[in-house]
Amino acid sequence: MTAALLADRIAGAARVSVIGMAKNAGKTRTLVALVEELDARGLRVGLTSVGRDGERDDVLDPRIPKPPVPVPPGGLVATSERFLRQAGMPYEVLAHSGYSTPVGNTVIAFLPYGGSPEIAGPSSNAATARVCDAMLALGADQVIIDGAFNRRAAASPAVADVVILATGATLHRSLNEVVALTVAAAELMTLPKASAPQVIEAAAVSDGSVVITGTGEVMPLHRRVTLGGVPEEVERLFGRPDGVSHVLLGGALCEAFVEEARRAARGREVRLVARDSSRVFLSARSSAWYLRQNVSIEVLRPTALAGLTVNPVAPLAYRFDSTWFLKRMAAELVNLPVCDLGPHTS
Amino acid sequence: VPEAVDHSRIRPYGDHLDDGLVQVSFSLPVPYALSAREAALEIGRKMQLEEPEVVHYQRLCDGYTYFVLYGRCRPTVDVTELRRGAFEIEYMSEHEINSYVAEHIGRPIVVVGASTGTDTHSVGIDAILNMKGVDGRHGLEAYPGFRVHNFGSQVPNARLVAEAIEVDADAILVSQTVTQQSLHLHNLTELVEIVEAEGIRDQVLLICGGARLSNELAKELGYDAGFFKGTYPNHVGTFIARELKARRDLTATEASAVEMTT
């Protein structure tokens, strides 16, 4: 698959997030290929980053070369004005967002002749969503949100209409391990949509976490229990005589809570519902593993995962065979388009 | 004096403004001898120092010599350019911060802090937060303008977030001894993600600190500021107080997408 097919998959989506599995997983390469393709189709792109992109030197290891991100003529960017000046191309500031970041205040600029400025928009989801809306209102056809490190927050449906996941050799020395980690991440992103009517009903009236008991009673659940890891309280919760039908999480669903719920339920079915997949935090076990233990995790708003890009090169270290890597990924993730948008620098 | 300074082209000075005088000190792996002095001067010239002069050199141990060099440095820096649209804070003193908080915030600022994840090093967070502070300067705990909750080391991210919400914190401070192993960094990003998942990202300032941190790294990690070696409690205090006020002003003017585009 090429950038053209990837662009087909995201056609019509106003906001596209490029999320990486780790640093140097190939987010920038994906972004560059995508921007090029959208420009060739005559679409005006808007770019923002929840981290930084298009920087000259890697923030951790200056020996790792980073590709610049060429913004096509007529494109829009959300970044710090300092980076616009440094890039030395003409630009017009269309709006001051008022959002401050550690590298300066974010402005929205129009690049009449294009250029490759470093891109660093606001970091938070709410601010990113507002900046994206502003760029769309200012004439962008599609806005691409660049992720950072392994951060997944920008994959939330509140920010992005579709998501592209970037994975790479840098994750682990063993290809098997990289495939397993990537499959787990893709599964997490595509957790099924909750359909039980009592859950939809409870979500409509409560922002916080609630427990829906076996008899349909809805009780609030304190954050201390969902975040704090208080095994006794989880034990008491799942030990109720009428049982627990669902737990609906208002915020983060952390692995400690999932694990405690699994233990407390002692093999009975546990149904956990998060607002969206970006709020589910699993690292030791995958969602598939929990499902086998009778713990199902669903979301209210599913994420539209449009594709996966692979980078077979771990900078300054080693590389996998691209074809073999692609083949392995495609075999595991049958319904997901997988592509390598190289060339990659090592 | 400040009137005479042209901030668009500043350079170091020693005796009088703009003379470019700098002092550098270093060690060389050569025996304490006249040739060692020559080597040091040559290093100075290669560093582009004009009129390098060895003002002091001494034997460190067998085969090693220590030097202090004076020289003139010609390049200049445009500070006005660095300030424009960049991340800038002019540090206030403890006393100034307290009056600033009283005047602009009107209540003590609530701060929670910890070394998170597996990190056991609490020396950084303690220096900034604990009453005793560091190097004769009080930590934020001693400031009347701050209410501090320091949870120590090895605090899970989720628990720190729960505590922050419990006390309605204005700022969360995390200290990490960052290494090239990205495990530490993943721990830092996880905190940001949990804060975002809990829906409080825009209500708290997220600040990270560590020997290897920078503002560029902090930006990539999703933090509002990153502090590094040489940071004192009043530096962090200044940032928190000023940024909170700036964000209040921003909310007051109701910056929205609609307003941005009109």
pLDDT surpassing 80 at residue A172 = yes
Q: Is A126 exposed, middle or buried (0-12, 13-18, 19+ CB in 10 A)?
A: middle
Which range, of A168-172, B218-222, B255-259, averages the lowest pLDDT? B255-259
- DSSP for B73-107, please give it: E---B-HHHHHTTS-------HHHHHHHHHHHT-S
* A149 chain-B contacts, CB cut-off 8 A: 182, 185-186, 189, 220-221
At A68, list the tokens. 């610049």
Worst-scoring range by mean pLDDT, A39-48, A288-297, B177-186? B177-186
Distance of CA A9 to the CA centre of its chain: 17
Give me the phi and psi of A139, to 5 degrees please: 115, 0
pLDDT given for residue B119 in this prediction: 76
Give me the residue label for tokens 């019509």. Answer: A12
A250-265: average pLDDT: 92
Confidence tier at B259 by pLDDT (50, 70, 90) = low
Assess whether pLDDT exceeds 90 at residue A296.
yes
pLDDT at residue B81 is higher than 90: no
Point out the residue among B156, B161, B260 whose CB comes nearest to the CB of A95. Answer: B260
Global pTM? 0.86
Contact between chains at A256 and B158 (C-beta distance less than 8 A): yes
CA distance linking residue B87 with residue A97, whole number of Å: 15
Provide the 3-class DSSP secondary structure of residue B117: coil
Q: Does B202 touch chain A (CB under 8 A)?
A: yes
Confidence of residue B85 (pLDDT cuts 50, 70, 90): low
Q: What is the average per-residue pLDDT within B107-125?
A: 87
Contact with chain A for residue B181, Cβ under 8 A: no
Whole-complex ipTM: 0.89
- Could you tell me which of B219, B225, B193 has the C-alpha nearest to residue B207? B225
Where is B161: in which H helix or E strand?
helix B157-166
The pLDDT of residue B2:
52
Under 8 Å between Cβ of B219 and A124:
no
pLDDT at B66 > cutoff 70: yes
Average pLDDT over residues A297-306: 95
Residue of B nearest to A147 (CA): B220
* Contact at CB, A120 and B86, closer than 8 angstroms: no
What number is the average pLDDT over the span A224-242? 85
Name the amino acid, one letter, at B242. R
Q: Which of A131-140, A215-224, B253-262 has the lowest mean pLDDT?
A: B253-262
Question: Which of A53-67, B98-112, B144-158, B161-175 shows the lowest mean pLDDT across its residues?
Answer: A53-67
**Is B252's pLDDT higher than 80?**
no
How high is the pLDDT of residue B179? 62
* Both structure tokens of A140: 């962008």
pLDDT at A283 over 90: no
Average pLDDT, chain A: 91
Q: Which residue of B has its CA nearest to A127?
A: B202
3-state secondary structure (DSSP) of residue B28:
strand
Q: What is the pLDDT of residue A239?
A: 85
Under the banding of pLDDT at 50, 70 and 90, the label for residue B261 is low
Within B198-255, where are the H helices? 215-221, 233-252
> In this model, does residue B78 exceed pLDDT 50?
yes
Whether chain A has a CB inside 8 Å of the CB on B168: the answer is: no
Q: How far is A275 from chain B (nearest CA, A)?
A: 9
Does A145 score more than 90 pLDDT?
yes
Partner residue facing B226 (CB), from A55, A99, A102: A102
* HSE-up of residue A3 (Cα within 13 Å, Cβ side): 16
Q: Please, what is the average pLDDT of chain B?
A: 88
Among the listed residues A182, A136, A310, the one whose alpha carbon sits nearest the alpha carbon of residue B260: A136
Distance CA A193, CA A202 (A): 15
Task: Strands of chain B (E only): list them.
Answer: 21-28, 49-61, 64-73, 109-115, 146-150, 171-175, 205-209, 225-227
Tell me what the mean pLDDT of segment A269-281 comes to. 94
Residue A65 has pLDDT above 80, yes or no: no
Where helices occur in A239-316 by DSSP H, the ranges are 255-265, 287-292
- Return the pLDDT at B204: 95
- Checking if the pLDDT of B122 tops 50, the result is yes
Please tell me which of the candidates B182, B222, B257 has its beta carbon nearest to residue A134: B257
Q: What integer pLDDT is reported at residue B258 of this predicted model?
A: 45
Contacts of A42 (CB under 8 A, 6+ apart): none
Residue in A227, A248, A255, A276 to test binding to B, most B beta-carbons within 10 Å: A227
* A206 touching B (Cβ < 8 Å): no
Model pLDDT for residues B176-205, shown as the tens digit of each residue: 875 655 667 888 999 999 999 999 999 999
**Can you give the pLDDT at residue B221?**
92
Residue B132 known to be catalytic: yes
Q: Is the pLDDT of residue B260 over 70?
A: no
Distance, CA of A66 to chain centre: 21
